[in-house]
Amino acid sequence: MNSSYRWVIVGAGALMTCVALGAMFSLAIFQVPIAADTGWSHAGIAAAMTLNFLTMGLGAFAWGAASDRFGIRIVVMIGALLLGLALVLASRAGSLLQFQLTYGILVGLAASAFFAPMIAATTAWFDKGRGLAVSLVSAGMGVAPMTVSPFARYLISAYDWRFAMLVIGIMAWVLLIPAALLVRRAPVLAETSGWGGQAEEKMPLGQIFRSPQFIVLGATFFACCAAHSGPIFHMVSYATICGVGPMAAVSIYSVEGLAGLGGRLLYGTLADRLGVKPVLIAGLLVQAAALATYLLVSELGEFYALAVVFGSAYGGVMPLYAVLAREYFGPRVIGTVFGAVSMLSSIGMAAGPLIGGWIFDSFTNYSWLFIGSSMVGLGAAGIALAFPPMRRLRLQPA
């Protein structure tokens, strides 16, 4: 496609993922101040993030299917309204249960309205350079730790966590509602069939979800996210335990995000040139090695160096799953298919924060978190080796 408007879609998608996922992941910055102010346990607060990912998984599937049927704009507009409301309500929570329900469920539901639908929309706007375009949209996740997280830390230091969360909720409305109005459906593709000549509108979803392509894609995405979610969420706490100051610990989180931004551009470009599968496997192996290496670091400089490697690896591989989904299954059901694999990945993401909180409460350290995460990361690379050849699945007539 030659339409220049596709870059508006990329820009809007990057902004949405930055604000929505930045607001959700900023719970890592809020965790210690909330615990100190309320007396709620670290595991209880981290459970809100677990609920985020579980709800985000179910929401990704539902929103993805809704975007295929009703269009992207209405989905992201609802998400924009809901995200601001969720953060405002969470800032007023008077009990841990209220916080878990508002931040855990509503924020997760709102955030899921952006990532899978906007990634799917971007794949439909690009025929060439799809890997780079999807990586740019996903780069919003990498920018988030450099924007939302430091902003949250500043507001918490200057005021308190409740005021900080309230302001971020209002800013979500201010930024996301106009961005949602810019979203359009991609022009109709000249390619209307692809699975052995069968029209893609008639492809049975049951057969898609039973295919080796979908099973391997979903299993790899699940294991990849299960590997890195706990270390990402607990990194600030882990660095603090190692003697790094609070603001410096947050800066490690920001360096990971910056590296993730660079990793998305690097891995996306390499995937366009070398193929998605080998680049994905290489990134998963780097991620697993970096997770194990965290057991050996304790100084701020060491944290920074490893954050560059780890952030570029986990950030770089994330957009590649959408490219695989598009190349395996075509454009007509990409929202539903990528929403489904995103649901599986969110279940994997849900495990890390809660398990990490339990490990810390039980052992007062995070060693077993990094050991287990590294092993799961190696498992993800092993599963990725089973990806079928890069051709669309040939379906039997429904």
- Three-state SS string over the chain comes to CCCCCHHHHHHHHHHHHHHHHHHHHCHHHHHHHHHHHHCCCHHHHHHHHHHHHHHHHHHHHHHHHHHHHHCHHHHHHHHHHHHHHHHHHHHCCCCHHHHHHHHHHHHHHHHCCCHHHHHHHHHHHCCCCHHHHHHHHHHHHHHHHHHHHHHHHHHHHHCCHHHHHHHHHHHHHHHHHHHHHCCCCCCCCCCCEEECCEEHHHCCHHHHHHCHHHHHHHHHHHHHHHHHHHHHHHHHHHHHHCCCCHHHHHHHHHHHHHHHHHHHHHHHHHHHHHCHHHHHHHHHHHHHHHHHHHHHCCCHHHHHHHHHHHHHHHHHHCCHHHHHHHHHHCCCCHHHHHHHHHHHHHHHHHHHHHHHHHHHHHHCCCHHHHHHHHHHHHHHHHHHCCCCCCCCCCCCCC
- The residue that leads in pLDDT, 46 or 220, is 220
Residue 191 has pLDDT above 50, yes or no: no
Distance CA 169, CA 20 (A): 10
91-125 pLDDT, tens digit per residue, is 999 899 999 999 989 998 998 899 878 888 888 78
- The residue that leads in pLDDT, 290 or 344, is 290
Residue 248 has pLDDT above 70, yes or no: yes
Most confident of 266-280, 348-362, 370-384: 370-384
Residue 76 has pLDDT above 80, yes or no: yes
Minimum mean pLDDT range among 17-31, 68-82, 129-143: 129-143
Residue 397 has pLDDT above 70, yes or no: no
Contact by Cβ (8 Å): 12, 79 = no
Residue 316 has pLDDT above 70, yes or no: yes
- With a pLDDT cut of 90, the percent of the chain lying above it is 31
Minimum mean pLDDT range among 152-156, 225-229, 232-236: 232-236
CATH number of the domain at 6-183+207-384, out of 1.10.150.650, 1.20.1250.20, 3.30.930.10, 3.30.360.10? Answer: 1.20.1250.20
Contact by Cβ (8 Å): 198, 395 = yes
Beta bridge partners of 195: 198
376-394 pLDDT, tens digit per residue, is 999 999 999 988 876 555 5
Average pLDDT estimate for 15-21: 89
Residue 164 pLDDT grade (very low, low, confident, very high; cuts 50, 70, 90): very high
Backbone angles phi, psi at 222, to 5 degrees: -60, -50
**What residue segments make up the domains of the chain, in order of their start?**
6-183+207-384
